[in-house]
Amino acid sequence: MTREVRELNAKDEDVSLSGAFIFIRSLLEKFPQLRMNFPDKNKLLMYLIHEGLFLKETKGHMIARDRAMPPKCKNIQTRDNCLKLINMLCVDNASGV
């Protein structure tokens, strides 16, 4: 899963990414059996936690100036939707991250 960072700061919202979080969460709420049998649930959880919320590039000088720095979710709404999806993926997840 690779996708460029679109949020330059907390004021920018990546509406597509935020909408994807809402859509996936809605599917998992509507179809709990999908959530229970989702084979790559922990991979998605790791991606959301690390890439989406907490990844920090420590070598900023190596990234082109015209690209946004990680993490992908900087806007409060995008972060909130990401956290809600993480919460949904953790329900009854005995194998957990």
Q: How many domains does the chain have?
A: 1
The 3-class SS string of 32-91 reads HHHHHCCCCHHHHHHHHHHHHHHCCCCCHHHCCCCCCCCCCCCCHHHHHHHHHHHHHHHC
The pLDDT assigned to 13 comes to: 85
Answer yes or no: is 3 within a domain: no
pLDDT digits (tens, 9 = 90+) for 10-29: 888 889 999 999 999 999 99
Answer yes or no: is 1 within a domain: no
> Where in the sequence is the domain holding 50, given as residue range(s)?
15-90
pLDDT digits (tens, 9 = 90+) for 30-39: 999 988 888 8
The token duo for 48 is 């959301």
pLDDT digits (tens, 9 = 90+) for 44-75: 999 899 888 988 766 655 555 556 667 888 89
pLDDT digits (tens, 9 = 90+) for 72-87: 888 999 999 999 999 9
Answer yes or no: is 30 within a domain: yes
The pLDDT assigned to 79 comes to: 93
Answer yes or no: is 7 within a domain: no
